[in-house]
Amino acid sequence: MPQKKVKTKNTLYYRNRQAIRFDFSAEEISSDGGVVLLDKLERTHGLLSDFSKRLPDYRDPLRITHSMDKLIKQRVFLQCLGYEDCNDSDELSHDPILKEFLEDRLASQPTLSRLENTSDKHAIKDLLEYWVDRYVASIDPTRKDIVIDVDSTDDQTHGHQQLSRFHGYYYHHMYHILLFHDGETGQVILPFLRAGNTHTASGATSLLKRIVQKIRKRFPTMKITLRADSGFSGPGSYHLAQKMDFEFCIGIPANERLKRLTAEIEAQVKEQYVSKNIKYQEIVGPFLYQAKSWDIPQQIWAKVESTGRGLNVRYIASNIDQEGEDIYFGFYVHRGEASENRIKELKNMCYADRLSCHSFHANFLRLLFSCLSYELMRLLKDVIAKTNHQQAKKWQVHNIRLFLLKIGACVKTRVRTITVCFSRAFPRQALFRQVAALC
């Protein structure tokens, strides 16, 4: 018997006497037209192709369908476009724009998963050496100083990942990521994945030493300053700063000895401001303070603040030869924008929190892929900063993705040209033209 034709009801609702309907009769349109900007950035800087050369490829050359360069390009481009999982590749396999700029055929989820599981400790070590070398090579020779921001962040785990451990401070099972950033450019100097129960500062001193050595090898007279929160206050940081002759500004956790040094000013602020719910802050110091584990005393400054709701006291150690107000307000507080906000972009917008493979080294490679996505978006930020669109210069990764990459477009292919056609109603045409010209 002939089958009955199934009718599809495409009427959503009625507005007055008009029926609001939908269908899928338009030509092939992609929602990711802005990938053309990513492709041009990659051709200009070679970020992904250089990285792919450092990742070992153990596959049989006679059976390879997708090159290592293409696999990494697909993984990172899709992360930049907001596709956080390898599974997304299967649903995007017919996207006309992605097919055009990712060599016609997208790799499947199993292929990408095999890519992530190819790394071992030797490959990861080589990639980390390359990562720092790439940073040093990218430093502008005219720069006189470099600020290194070091910070850590948690990545909560939900399965049976290797080295997933419970951390008492964060109070969940996690990986503990260590990150070094350039305090001026926001560039990731080095990402490092650690077991979940690792102390905040574990391994930071040895990695910092390696970074400083590489910088000094190329720029012997470069002024280097370390900036970090109280988790990195310890004898290793101060000893290394003295040995390698660099400046530092590091937070210090409060203790009874420090509180005694600021007891008098705290009492005054409580009486004059806290009791009246008045906002006020003052930098006091310097004091000489030496913990039992430190080699030498350090110069300590304290910020005593009435927040309008209570008293807040913070301590920092620094060997910078400036006034306390300049050190704290002119330098230390900027780590919030230079480091903490960049970590938020890396974790929440470039998916460094998606370390869900079983293998620790596979998750380390996933972290590096997220850092590649972050770096590609950071390069796009640098291009936007050269335009005359002031509001766009404030955009973070998710804004750039929404306004410049997730754009409806179709592609027209001819023998000599490939044209990406955007809507004539696209509201940011002028910005897109400038960015495309500057990439």
Share of the chain above pLDDT 70, in %: 98
Q: Going by C-beta distance under 8 Å and a sequence separation of 6 or more, which residues neighbour residue 84?
A: 351, 354
Residue 123 has pLDDT above 90, yes or no: yes
Residue 91 has pLDDT above 70, yes or no: yes
Residue 64: its pLDDT value, please? 87
Are the C-beta atoms of 137 and 215 separated by less than 8 Å?
no
Beta strand 247-252 with 223-228 is parallel
User: Per-residue confidence at 90, pLDDT binned at 50, 70, 90?
Assistant: confident
Q: Average pLDDT, stretch 187-213?
A: 95
Where exactly are the structural domains of the chain? 35-107+370-438, 121-349
Residue 58: its pLDDT value, please? 86
Q: Average pLDDT, stretch 348-363?
A: 94
pTM of the model: 0.92
Of the listed ranges 85-94, 299-308, 356-365, the one predicted with least confidence: 85-94
Of the listed ranges 27-31, 186-190, 208-212, the one predicted with least confidence: 27-31
Strand ranges, E, within 81-171 = 145-156, 165-167
Q: What is the Cα–Cα distance from 385 to 387, expressed in whole angstroms? A: 6
Tokens at residue 145, please?
């100083």
Q: Average pLDDT, stretch 319-338?
A: 92
Residue 15 in 3-state DSSP? strand
Q: 121-349, what's its fold?
A: Transposase Inhibitor Protein From Tn5; Chain A, domain 1 (3.90.350)
Of the listed ranges 58-72, 135-149, 218-232, the one predicted with least confidence: 58-72
